[in-house]
Chain A
Amino acid sequence: MYLDSMIPALIAVSCAGLFASASGQKARAPREFVGQVAAYALVPRMAVTCVAYVLIALEMLVAVLLLPPRFRSLAAVTGSALFLLYGIGMLVNLSRGRRALDCGCMGPYAVRPIAYWMVWRNGALAVLLACAALPSAARPWAFTDVVTLLCGVAVIVVLYQTTDELFGRVLPAAKHLRTQT
């Protein structure tokens, strides 16, 4: 059974936007991102700069290669591995008790501490993006498909932000209030 070509396209374009935005933020302040990678304390000090620049380059590459169907499978697998890698990095540091560590997910301009929900988010994104690597049934696209793709991506972007707001801001604040009463 093959997926309809719309589903991998929707996932790929949405994730391409996410990687483009994240790598763009990181590329704007690469030195700060090197510091964020070093703070995870997972890479030998001498390799930190190299790893940080490779991560930015990989994210950019994935963002570009997710768009043409020809390279989509390769980019989807690489992107999925990146999500998992970041998730594991957060999980290791959470188990070390370093809950104040800056996530670095969107570069140095969006400072936020790591949390378990981010590990789950990355796991979900990795599975979702891996689905884009599955074979899909090719069919000619109609104008309706273009509408579906554009509107679908817009809805996914808004829902991603909503989920981020819910788990990153609203629920921690509600938990803090509950513990006060």
Chain B
Amino acid sequence: MTALLISNTVLWCVVLLLAVVVLGLMRQVGVLHARIAPVGALMLAKGLKIGEQAPVLSETTLGGAVRVLGAPRTDGLCTLLMFISPTCPVCKTLLPALRSSRRAEQTWLEIVLTSDGALPEQHAFVQAESLNEFPYVVSAALGLSYQVSRLPFAALVDEAGVLRARGLVNSREHLESLFEARRLGVASLQDYFDKAATAV
């Protein structure tokens, strides 16, 4: 009887210890999830500041529609200006991410592709990559006003025409970091870490 009691007690202690260890591990997994920071688009030092009014430009898309980019929108949608080029290989790898983001974020976002260069080449690019679903603007002025020095570059302008996020975008994670930046109310990954460091 004594042996049974000892065995039972030891077993219960082991089970309790195991349960506590599982709980500790579960909490650590939760903490790890909370600490996984979003991968950020690379902010370029020069250019427009986040929170500034975006430059307002009236441009014609390849489809012939006139768009006033950067102005406050009445439909409540934000605008993602995606600066790409037919000669930029990284831009082509981003196109599937842009297509899926256009579908996934269509309730609050419109993606506008912008480029610069000869029109026949741009038309051929749009046809080859099946980009007809996007408004496509060819404008050197747009790139200059956003001070785009490298591609692919993206700028997120909110419904009031305020620049919310911008940066060099090389991957889907970089692209989505712009959406996250708007959601979290931060300008960039650096800003996110600075805020997190001050909060600790």
* Nearest Cβ on chain A to B183's Cβ, whole angstroms: 11
Is B16 located at the chain interface by the 8 A CB criterion? yes
What's the Cα separation between A181 and B173 when bound, in Å? 7
Contacts of B172 in A (CB 8 A): 181
The answer, among A143, A144, A154, A166, for a CB contact under 8 Å with B26, is A166
Contacts of A173 in B (CB 8 A): 30, 33-34
Establish whether residues A169 and B8, one from each chain, have CB atoms under 8 Å apart when the complex forms: no
What's the Cα separation between A154 and B16 when bound, in Å? 7
* Nearest Cβ on chain A to B43's Cβ, whole angstroms: 20
What's the Cα separation between A143 and B20 when bound, in Å? 24
Establish whether residues B30 and A162, one from each chain, have CB atoms under 8 Å apart when the complex forms: no
Is A138 located at the chain interface by the 8 A CB criterion? no
Is B68 located at the chain interface by the 8 A CB criterion? no
Q: Mark A20-51, 1 if CB is under 8 A from B, else 0.
A: 00000000000000000000000000000000
Contacts of A177 in B (CB 8 A): 33, 36
What's the Cα separation between A159 and B17 when bound, in Å? 11
* Nearest Cβ on chain B to A161's Cβ, whole angstroms: 6
Establish whether residues B23 and A158, one from each chain, have CB atoms under 8 Å apart when the complex forms: yes
Which residues from 145 to 166 on chain A have a C-beta closer than 8 Å to any C-beta of chain B?
Answer: 147-148, 151-152, 154-155, 158-159, 161-162, 165-166
Establish whether residues B30 and A170, one from each chain, have CB atoms under 8 Å apart when the complex forms: yes
Is A95 located at the chain interface by the 8 A CB criterion? no
Contacts of A143 in B (CB 8 A): 5
Q: Give the nearest-CB partner of B172 in chain A.
A: A181
Q: Give the nearest-CB partner of A173 in chain B.
A: B33
Using known A-B contacts A161-B23, A177-B36, determine if residue A170 contacts B4 with beta carbons closer than 8 Å.
no
Establish whether residues B33 and A170, one from each chain, have CB atoms under 8 Å apart when the complex forms: yes
Using known A-B contacts A170-B33, A177-B33, determine if residue A162 contacts B16 with beta carbons closer than 8 Å.
no
What's the Cα separation between A151 and B33 when bound, in Å? 31
Q: Mark B60-99, 1 if CB is under 8 A from A, else 0.
A: 0000000000000000000000000000000000000000
What's the Cα separation between A1 and B20 when bound, in Å? 35
Establish whether residues B26 and A147, one from each chain, have CB atoms under 8 Å apart when the complex forms: no
Establish whether residues B5 and A151, one from each chain, have CB atoms under 8 Å apart when the complex forms: no
Q: Mark B1-31, 1 if CB is under 8 A from A, else 0.
A: 0001100110011011001101100110110
Establish whether residues A174 and B33, one from each chain, have CB atoms under 8 Å apart when the complex forms: yes
Contacts of B5 in A (CB 8 A): 143-144, 147
Establish whether residues B176 and A155, one from each chain, have CB atoms under 8 Å apart when the complex forms: no
Contacts of B12 in A (CB 8 A): 147-148, 151-152, 155
The 4 closest A-B pairs by CB, nearest first: A151-B12, A173-B33, A158-B19, A169-B30
25 contacts between A and B (CB under 8 A): A147-B8, A147-B9, A148-B8, A148-B12, A151-B9, A155-B16, A158-B16, A158-B19, A158-B20, A158-B22, A158-B23, A159-B19, A162-B19, A165-B23, A165-B26, A166-B26, A169-B30, A170-B29, A170-B30, A170-B33, A173-B30, A177-B33, A177-B36, A181-B172, A181-B173
Binding site for B on A (CB under 8 A): 143-144, 147-148, 151-152, 154-155, 158-159, 161-162, 165-166, 169-170, 173-174, 177, 180-181
